[in-house]
Chain A
Amino acid sequence: MAEQINQKENFLKGIIKDNPVFVMLLGMCPTLGVTSSAFNGLGMGIATLFVLVMSNIVVSLIKSQIPSKVRIPAFIIIIASFVTIVEMVLEAYIPFLFEQLGIFIPLIVVNCLILGRAEAFASKNNTISSIIDGLGMGLGFTLALTILGATREILGNGSIFDFKFLSDNASTLILFILPPGAFIALAYLTVLFNKTTSSKTN
């Protein structure tokens, strides 16, 4: 563990270079499932961000105590515990958001982004780096979900963050609110994202 990690780069990589949604294509289930509105995307992103940071902290703290053959079950238990905590807290204090996200909160457990970061980063790096990694990745995920949610909401419902800018009778592209629209919007946004970021870096 000799190499020094550039923390700024460590933080930024989750947002642009290794964006979990647009570049690594991780955690597709909530990405496609909940992003029918910008608000849902934001809520899901923040819930995932919290779980990601917490599990990264715990995994990096106890990594030397976990025998490598049982590391996956150990990580999953840690992640599942934080998810359940998030679920209980949301139900108690933000029932509105809890209702909106519904089944997708328990499904954060199987979001491969979180297990992926625990396995690929937190189990090999120190706690500070892991927190920053979790924050960067979580923010990148939140941003991507919010952008995707906003795109679908604008096209499919004529509104953004529930603020309607089209009249009630205006016809919108309902397809974008429906599941197929999630795939189409994600595909185009991924192309757009990679086009802009690659032209910048080259």
Chain B
Amino acid sequence: MSKKESTFLNMTITLFIITLVAGLSLGYVNDLTLEPKAKAKLERKVNALKQVLPEFNNNLVDEVTLIKSDKAKDNVEVYTAKNNDNYVGTAVVGSSEKGYSGLVKIMVGFNPDGSIQNIVVLEQKETPGLGTKMKEVKFLNQFKGKNPSQFNLKPKKDGGDVDALTGATISTRAFGEATQMAYDVYTETKPKN
């Protein structure tokens, strides 16, 4: 078992071959997983939509409208749900950069009267066991049926109406901000009856 000598040529060739094989196999796996990855993402979105909206039967994912808002970096996704062509609600993806570890992204479903139907957390990197409790029903339930025009989305500490998560006021604040953003976009885009 003789080792290859560390000559310049040997080293270059070895590293070249290893990176080539690595690159090719990664490309292959990427191709293989591209479709399931997109599918998993879409499934999550559809599930979130089903959770935050009343029953609907139009194809929401294809009918997304992107709204520009000065509060968000990217365009805001707005989904208008219809059941047999009757307007039943709007889902808006709200986000805030002010979470404890950056981005908090949520989907808020609004009833036609402007009250919150339900909220689902899409993305967050909050502290496990503290900020992550924003995903729990217990926290989310306090928003259900509330209309943000009468319900201050700030935590109680800041003079709002939201019961903050224990030990995670910053996460709660970001959550409220994201919800507020969703509500602002919703009021801008609400279909006129």
State the A residues within 8 Å of B (CB): 1, 36-37, 40, 64-70, 73-74, 77-78, 80-81, 84-85, 88-89, 91-93, 95, 99, 102-103, 153, 156-157, 168, 174, 177-178
Contacts and interface: CB of A to CB of B under 8 A. Distances in A.
B84 to A, nearest CB: 32
Interface in B29-88: 29-30, 33, 36-37, 40-41, 44
Q: Is the interface of A mostly helix, strand, loop or mixed?
A: helix
Contacts of A68: 3, 6
A92 B18 contact: no
A81 B25 contact: yes
A88 B30 contact: yes
Given A67-B3, A67-B6, A89 B29 contact: yes
28 contacts: A1-B1, A36-B128, A36-B129, A37-B128, A40-B128, A65-B14, A68-B3, A68-B6, A69-B6, A74-B14, A74-B18, A81-B22, A81-B26, A84-B26, A85-B29, A88-B33, A89-B29, A91-B33, A92-B36, A93-B36, A95-B40, A156-B129, A157-B129, A168-B138, A174-B166, A177-B128, A178-B127, A178-B129
Contacts of A178: 127, 129-130
A77 to B, nearest CB: 5
Given A77-B15, A88-B37, 19 more contacts: A64-B2, A64-B4, A66-B4, A67-B7, A67-B14, A73-B15, A74-B18, A78-B22, A88-B30, A91-B37, A91-B40, A92-B36, A93-B40, A95-B44, A102-B125, A103-B125, A153-B129, A177-B129, A178-B127
A65 B4 contact: yes
Contacts of A156: 129
A91 B33 CA distance: 8
A48 B36 CA distance: 23
* Shortest beta-carbon contacts, A-B, top 9: A177-B129, A36-B128, A69-B6, A92-B36, A92-B33, A67-B6, A81-B22, A92-B37, A95-B40
B141 interface: no
A174 B40 contact: no
Contacts of A78: 18, 22
Interface of B: 1-7, 10-11, 14-15, 18-19, 22, 25-26, 29-30, 33, 36-37, 40-41, 44, 123, 125, 127-130, 138, 166-167
A99 B44 CA distance: 12
Nearest to B35: A92
Contacts of B5: 67
A66 B33 CA distance: 31
Nearest to A1: B1
A37 B4 contact: no
A88 B29 contact: yes
B82 to A, nearest CB: 28
Contacts of B30: 88
B14 to A, nearest CB: 6
A40 B6 CA distance: 42
B129 A174 contact: yes
Nearest to A153: B129
A36 B128 CA distance: 6
